[in-house]
Amino acid sequence: MTTTDDKELIARIQAGDTAAYRETMKRYGTPIFTLIRRIVGSREDAEELTQDVFLKAFDRIGRYRGESSFSTWLYRIAYNCAVSKYRKRKREMPFADETAQERIPDTNAPWQGEDASGKREALLSALETALSRLPTEEAMIVSLFYTARKSVEELADITGYSASNIKVKLHRIRRKLGTLIENIQTTEL
Amino acid sequence: MKNDRLHTSAFDTELAELFRELPEYPLPSGLETRILREATLRHARRQKQLKIALWIALGGTAAVLLGCAVFFLLRYELLPAFPSLSSLLPASGSESGENPYPFWGMIGLEALILLVGQQYLFRRLRKQTKNKD
């Protein structure tokens, strides 16, 4: 639910206090920008999309009823903006063999067993590349789950899917992400 | 940790750790300024539009009230008091004699009175403004 600080902030924005905009940006600017930047890849596109998200949020703040937390409401706007903007964008999906995803064991990370300390940075870079290669909707769901620490129910609220659907999607996206990371690392080696 | 989080396998845990370690991208200060400026501008524009809508609603209500007042004044005060004025109107056509004045004729007369009144007000206001200058 919305914290007391958030409630006060929202009340100030709804009352027309434009100084509260700055505080909202301070509180949520970096998390939203980070989320979008990881998914979109390009800095310019991420800046444009972040601007769209915040302007939409400030325009629609009067409609916020406090049924979900403020961050969930804000992430819903970010999700809708990103998905509608990049719906038609075809991402490069290096799955020549679709069944390759299924061969990834669910219990172990594909990169486990390697010298973790030496490969950590490469792994992080591979994850970032993999994220930017996922379809926008999938990248958003998995990032909201791991980065924004949103629960399955909150993700259902953000995306409009059912909770069980989100669980299935997360399972598939994780497998896809694992395959992508493995492929990226293999290509780099 | 919430029960519904799917942290059930080593793969999942490793992925969660990796996500935590991903670098954060701070919001560029230029972008923050741009968003704040645009949001403030939009807020001001919305306020202005709201004010205009309010004035239109008020003006509309005042015009309707004024129209009704003039109509009743004409019907029950002016026309009975000045028969020469009623001779300007065409015949009513009402056989019962309840309504001696034709409705559309009265509306026309009212419009004429309002138009003359409006012109008179505008001229007075213009004259006042000129005198002030």
Is A60's Cβ below 8 Å from some Cβ in B?
no
What mean pLDDT is reported for chain B?
83
Identify which has the larger pLDDT, B55 or A122: B55
In a domain, A102, yes or no: yes
Residues 19-48 of A with CB under 8 A from B: 21-22, 25, 29-30, 32-34, 37-38, 46-47
In this structure, the answer to whether residues A37 and A63 fall within a common structural domain is: yes
- Domain contains B23: no
Q: Residue A37 falls within a domain, yes or no?
A: yes
A130's CB contacts (< 8 A; 6+ apart) are A177, A180, A181, A184
As a whole-number percent, the residues of chain B with pLDDT over 70 amount to 86
Task: Tell me, yes or no, if A18 comes closer than 8 A to chain B by beta carbon.
Answer: yes
Q: Which of residues 130-159 of A touch B (CB under 8 A)?
A: 143, 145-147, 151-153
Report ipTM for this prediction.
0.76
The per-residue pLDDT for B32 is 93
CA dihedral (A142, A144, A147, A152) positive or negative: negative
Question: Binning pLDDT at 50, 70 and 90, where does residue B127 land?
Answer: confident
Same structural domain for residues A81 and A114?
no
Residues A47 and A103 both lie in one domain: no
Within a domain: A93: no
pLDDT tens for each residue of B77-118: 888 888 887 777 776 555 555 667 787 888 888 888 889 988
Residue B32 touches partner A, C-beta closer than 8 Å: yes
**A106 lies in the same domain as A163:** yes
Cβ within 8 Å, pair B35-A25? yes
Per-residue pLDDT, A86: 81
CB contact under 8 A, A105 and B11: yes
Q: Which residues of A touch B18 (CB under 8 A)?
A: 123-124, 127
Residue A50 inside a domain? The answer is yes
Contacts of A123 in chain B (CB under 8 A): 18
Question: Quick check: is B66 in a domain?
Answer: yes
- Chain A CB contacts of B9 below 8 Å: 106-108
pLDDT of residue A2: 57
As for how many domains chain A has, the answer is 2
* Boundaries of domain holding A149: 98-188
Cα A124–chain centre separation:
16
Report residues of chain A scoring pLDDT below 50. 1, 90, 92-108
With beta carbons under 8 A apart, name residues in chain B contacting A33.
25-28, 31
Residues A103 and A183 reside in one and the same domain: yes
pLDDT of A103 reads 42
Alpha-carbon distance of A139 to B19, in angstroms, equals: 12
Asked whether residue A108 falls in the same domain as residue A182, the answer is yes
Within-domain flag for A31: yes
Q: Is residue A60 part of a domain?
A: yes
Q: How confident is the model at residue B72 (pLDDT cuts 50, 70, 90)?
A: confident
pLDDT at A3: 65
CA B87 from chain center: how many Å? 39
pLDDT of residue A26: 92
Which pLDDT score is estimated for B5?
45
- Interior/surface letters A91-125, b for 16+ CB within 10 angstroms, e for the rest: eeeeeeeeeebeebeeeebbbeeeeeeeeeebbeb
Last-in-domain residue among A55, A85, A115? A85
DSSP characters for chain A? ---HHHHHHHHHHHTT-THHHHHHHHHHHHHHHHHHHHHH--HHHHHHHHHHHHHHHHHHGGG--SSS-HHHHHHHHHHHHHHHHSTTPPP----SSGGGTTTS-SSS-TTTTS-HHHHHHHHHHHHHHHHHHS-HHHHHHHHHHHTS---HHHHHHHHS--HHHHHHHHHHHHHHHHHHHHHHHHHH-
Q: Is A55 on the interface with B (CB under 8 A)?
A: yes
CB A28 within 8 A of CB A78: no
Q: Which domain holds residue B121?
A: 28-132
The number of folded domains in chain B is 1
Asked, for residue A92, whether it belongs to a domain, the answer is no
Contacts of A56 (CB under 8 A, 6+ apart): A77, A81
Task: From chain A, pick out residues whose CB is under 8 angstroms from the CB of B35.
Answer: 21, 25, 50-51, 54-55
**Residue among B4, B18, B22 minimizing CB distance to A151:** B4
